[in-house]
Amino acid sequence: MEWTGARYADKPTVEVHTWIGAPPAQVWTLVSDIELMPRMSSELQSVEWLDGRSDPALGARFIGRSKHEALGEWATTSHVVEYEPTTTLAWAVEDPRHPTAIWRFTLEPQDGGTLLREWMQMGPARSGLSFAIDRMPDKEQKIVFVRMREFEANMTVTLAEIKKLAESARTSSEAGL
C-alpha cells in the first residue's frame, strides 16, 4: 500500500487478492463462515450471529469483538449488505446507511480455481480511529495510513489462511480422505 495522504473523510480503501486452487463453491464455504474468521486474525477475537441466525443472508446481523494494542477492546454490530452465494459477501459495520466501515469478499472462477478478493472501506461514519485522530489532528494522514497498512497486512493473512484451508480440503477430498 502506497502513501496517499488520505484523510478519514476520504473513505480510504484497501484490497488484497489471491488465487486459490479450489472451486468457488468450496472457497465460499470458508468465506461465508464468519465464525471461522477470528482463527485467522490477530485483531478479531470472536464473531457471533444475532437474531437466531447461523449463516449469512441479506440483512443478517452479527457482533464482532476485537482487540488492538493501541485501540483497546471493542464490539461492533455488522449488517450483511451484499449476499450472492459463491460470489459476494459484504457487510457494513454499525449503521448500514452510514457505516464506520464496509468489508467485502468477492470470488470469481479463474484458471480452474478461484480468485478471492477482500476489500474494505474505512468510514464514512466515525469509528474508534476517529478518537485517535481527534487527539492528534495534525497526524490524521499518518494515523489513517498506518491503520490501512494494518488492515492490508491482516487481510493478506486472512486470504492466505483461507487459501491453505481450501487447498488442503481439496487435496484431502482428492485423496479420498
Domain ranges within the chain, ordered by starting residue:
10-171
**Rounded average pLDDT over 140-153:** 93
Give the pLDDT band (50/70/90) at residue 25: very high
pLDDT at 175 over 80: no
pTM metric for this prediction: 0.91
Query: What is the separation of C-alpha 173 from the centre of its chain, rounded to a whole number of angstroms?
Result: 28
**pLDDT class of 111 with cuts at 50, 70, 90:** very high
Residue identified by cell 468489508 is 103
| Domain range 10-171, its CATH number among 3.30.530.20, 3.40.50.300, 3.30.70.100, 3.30.70.120 | 3.30.530.20
Cα four-point dihedral sign 166, 171, 172, 176 = positive
30: closest CA among 150, 120, 159?
159
Residue type at 134?
D
Find the distance separating the first CA and the last CA of the chain, reported in whole Å. 40
Angle, in degrees to the nearest 10, between helices 140-174 and 128-135: 150
Instruction: Render pLDDT for 63-82 as a digit per residue (tens, 0 to 9).
Output: 999 998 888 899 999 999 99
